[in-house]
Structure 1
């Protein structure tokens, strides 16, 4: 069985992070890495008590947290270095127990990157805001037009081979992280697929879609990233 690590960026997720960690299938992953991204609550303490490895990234930004987790995971001794990295949100909107669905195509040698698609799966009413649904549609349509890929979602729940991830030379530090990964994977012709995943209302208020400023900034950054790498 390949070595698998999970990276969970977390900003003020003390209400949900223990449930996220607990829902990851036992024995499936070697390390659950929670990156405490400048939280002002007890996220780090709760995550540590739940059994996660806790890192601290003081500079705000989803991409910053992901990059911190990747740096930690890939700096491990060779025998502990993950073959596959799974990314998962810390708000309990994803269903961590569905992780085997994302890993199956990689383990079968059919893909190097798997996106958990909320658009193809079952989505609880109200789990995604209208601006998120429209933004996903627009971004995936633009990627289909300009990059020839058939994504249906920019979902945060995803798995990727570590060597493929490092080859992408990820750089985005904020809202553009997920789309940067998918655009760069398209350009490098990384074998990919999507699997339907279940999505529910998050615990607590979204820091992005829950505010007008967050929604606008995220949308702007996503569109900018798509055109940046053309």
Structure 2
């Protein structure tokens, strides 16, 4: 991949205060930034468009629904024009907790070492204090511990900032509609024996309140979904 074609998918629900910052910090090696407004009721869509992103809407609430909408858009593009088939897809949150400029570091293992899948790991020494809630930290530990125990995985995080070769992404046949999207991708990558690495990433306090880890209900449902995927694959 001398000049890879890269597209970024950003699910966003009411991220009007952060979305332009995210888009503006994405390196210009990216061919297209696709923001999926997941039933937003604020100015997320307007601000994303002004910042230069392609904006789609998905009325069904759920992180996975938004990601699948972005993938569907890319697939339809490829049908109409094969020159639009990307080499790499990057997933990134719209809350500005990740550092979009680190996308260069994220995709480097794919470009230099032909790795299939890269996770941006939110390591403790690079995390801003308070940027991850106690339930997030525990949930990440438990999920990655179980993946190690059942599958011999080396993951340490379920970080949403991730990059994957486009053909490998299609082969995963992603299906989760809500909170289990990230862990489903990692489990299927393990099952299909994709090569993967983690890259330590900086992480800061998000702009606004998290719709998942910021609520008791969101944390409980996310935990149930993540554990459900792990045990489903453990006994297949």
Q: Which TM-score band (shorter chain)?
A: over 0.9
Show CA shifts across 1:128-185 (max 9, x none).
Answer: 0000000000000000011111100000000000000010000000000000000000
User: For this pair of structures, how many residues does the alignment match?
Assistant: 229
SS class of match (1:108) = helix
CA contact (8 A) 1:75 1:81 kept: no
Q: Structure 2 length as normaliser, TM-score?
A: 0.95
Supply the distance in 1 between the matched residues of 2:121 and 2:222 (Cα, whole angstroms).
19
In structure 2, the partner of 1:133 is 137
Unpaired stretches in structure 2, ≥5 consecutive residues: none
Q: What's the offset of the Cα at 1:65?
A: 0.3
Q: What's the offset of the Cα at 1:108?
A: 1.2
In structure 2, the partner of 1:50 is 51
SS class of match (2:193) = coil
CA contact (8 A) 2:123 2:202 kept: no
SS class of match (1:40) = coil
CA contact (8 A) 2:9 2:92 kept: yes
Supply the distance in 1 between the matched residues of 2:37 and 2:125 (Cα, whole angstroms).
29
Show CA shifts across 1:4-59 (max 9, x none).
Answer: 00000000000000000000012x11000000100011100110010000011110
Q: What's the offset of the Cα at 1:119?
A: 2.3
Q: What's the offset of the Cα at 1:120?
A: 6.0
- Select which of 163, 169, 174 maps to 2:173: 169
In structure 2, the partner of 1:88 is 92
* Residue 39 (1) aligns with residue 40 (2): yes
In structure 1, the partner of 2:13 is 11
CA contact (8 A) 1:4 1:85 kept: yes
In structure 1, the partner of 2:75 is 74
- Select which of 109, 129, 144 maps to 1:105: 109
Question: Which is worse superposed, 94-103 or 108-117?
Answer: 108-117
Q: Structure 1 length as normaliser, TM-score?
A: 0.98
Runs of 4+ in 1 over 3 A off after TM superposition: none
Structure holding more helix per residue: 2
In structure 2, the partner of 1:195 is 199
* Residue 150 (1) aligns with residue 154 (2): yes
Unpaired stretches in structure 1, ≥5 consecutive residues: none
Q: What's the offset of the Cα at 1:74?
A: 2.2
